[in-house]
Amino acid sequence: MKQLPTNQAGTSLIEALMTIAIFTMVSISLYMMIWLALHLLRDDQARLDAIAIAQTKIEELRNAPYESVGTSGGIPSGAFSQLETVVRNNRDYHVETEIIYIDDVYDGVAPIDTVNTDYKQAEVSVTWQGQYVSEPVVLSTIFAPEGIETTAGGGTLWVEAVDSDEQPVAGATILVTNTTTVPTVNITSTTDINGRYILPGAPAATQSYHVELSKSGYSSSQTYPEDLDSNPNPDPHDLSVIALDTTTLVMVIDSLGELNIHLERRDDGTALIDIPVQITGSQRIGTDLSGADIPKYSELLTSDSSGDIVISSLESDIYTIVIDEDTTTFDLAGYSQSLPLNIAPGASETVTLLLADAESDTALLSITDISGTPIVGATVDATNADFSTNLTETTDANGQVYFSPLSQESFTVEVTAAGYEIYSTSIEVSGDMNLTLPLTAS
């Protein structure tokens, strides 16, 4: 019987390609394993170097007299640097040394314990740029004076970081500086789990301790120096420290929010570009020589090509939003949210401003219930004294009507809406009027 021929050459080619593919995958896997192992070994060596650097720094501190254990610009003051760079095996290591006084609970704490510089604590942190392992190496130790504790002089600076709900903010960065003391003070640290930063042994000084508080994703807070030109009456003022006394400061920071302002024409909804808008917060940082508040936030911003003004990283506050009528030909003719606008911590708010061509005398009327909720579809009639002018409008989606142009005279305004009592009032029109009229449920 005659046998069919077999395709031995084709089978051999497929087997060869599969063998090559498998060999290639195995080779790549082995290469990656070897590459990873080498980098891990290199990172292990970097960590060992970092540990050695930290241990060396700790030994340097231990070999110094107790009175000399301190940092340049720190409290306690000394010759050791707060920040330095060490090169080891062609790698840069950043060494941060923090030395502070400790007020031990054993004999009471400030403000009851006036001698609260019981002993010193040093913490050395070493960081570097690693391929995989980049956790810092941190070593700490304490230094106790010989014999009975003695006062280091000065007082205690006690700062508490809280949010708007009065909850502690841990891990916030705090900067304390004073250029009037000898030596000067320049300390960067963080708040503890209770949101506190306590600095015993601070040299006595009057209104010269400058404090700044910040945290990623949060607003910032600070004290302010007196400046006759920009801030003659700062609030809060840079702090004073009195010997054997405690100065306390509570600083409020909170999650940042965002504000999007959209500007468009009231009549046709066309986006308006290059419109200047003044945004001012209610928080203040002091008063000027006339006693007027100096706001913490006040910016004049301009709408973009889409008619938008986007403000990211905005702290919680109550903001007034005003069209700069001196440099534009528009009047405010409506808005989608009540103004001033309250930005809550971490909130993202959008408000639409409706604008109309500027006129000398106008009336923007917002119709609400007694709780402030806008009433849509209410009928608003405005009639002057001699009945020569009678205007009727229906409230829009924002519960508003806009009458323009008007003349400077008295108008009787009557509002009717289903489910509410008829509302009637008299208004004297002069300039751009912006009024809210609350209705009572029937």
pLDDT (0 to 100) of residue 150: 55
Contact 104, 119 (CB under 8 A): yes
Consecutive H or E run containing 311: strand 308-314
pLDDT at 321 over 80: yes
| Order of all β-strands in the sheet with 233-234 | 233-234, 284-287, 293-295
Show the tokens assigned to 222: 């600070």
Report CA dihedral (296, 298, 303, 307) to the nearest 10 degrees: 60
Alpha-carbon distances of 121 from 68, 70, 139, 244, rounded to whole Å: 13, 10, 11, 20
Higher pLDDT, 327 or 75: 75
pLDDT at 41 over 60: no
Show the tokens assigned to 230: 């920009």
Average pLDDT over residues 120-125: 94
Fold of the 155-252 domain: Immunoglobulin-like (2.60.40)
Average pLDDT over residues 209-213: 98
Whether 361-442 and 256-358 are alike in CATH topology: the answer is yes
Tell me, what DSSP letter sits at residue 28?
H
Report which residue type is found at 289.
Answer: L
* 164-178: pLDDT as tens digits: 999 999 999 999 999
pLDDT at 295 over 70: yes
State the chain's mean pLDDT as an integer: 90
pLDDT at 314 over 90: yes
pLDDT (0 to 100) of residue 18: 78
| Sheet strands (E) in 163-305 | 173-178, 185-190, 196-202, 205-214, 221-222, 233-234, 239-241, 246-252, 257-265, 276-281, 284-287, 293-295, 298-302
pLDDT confidence band for 360 (50 / 70 / 90) = very high
Q: Can you spell out the DSSP letters for 335-400?
A: ESS-SSEEE-TT-EEEEEEEEEE--SSEEEEEEEETTS-B-TT-EEEEEETTSS-EEEEE--TTSE
256-358 maps to which CATH number?
2.60.40.10
pLDDT (0 to 100) of residue 257: 96
Average pLDDT over residues 287-295: 96
C-alpha span between 202 and 100 (Å, rounded): 10
pLDDT at 306 over 80: yes
- pTM, to two decimals: 0.80
Higher pLDDT, 120 or 29: 120
pLDDT at 279 over 70: yes
Query: In this predicted structure, which of 43-52, 149-158, 359-368 has the lowest mean pLDDT?
Result: 149-158
Domain ranges of the chain: 25-143, 155-252, 256-358, 361-442
Q: Residue 267's Cα: distance from chain center in Å?
A: 38
pLDDT at 438 over 90: yes
361-442 maps to which CATH number?
2.60.40.1120
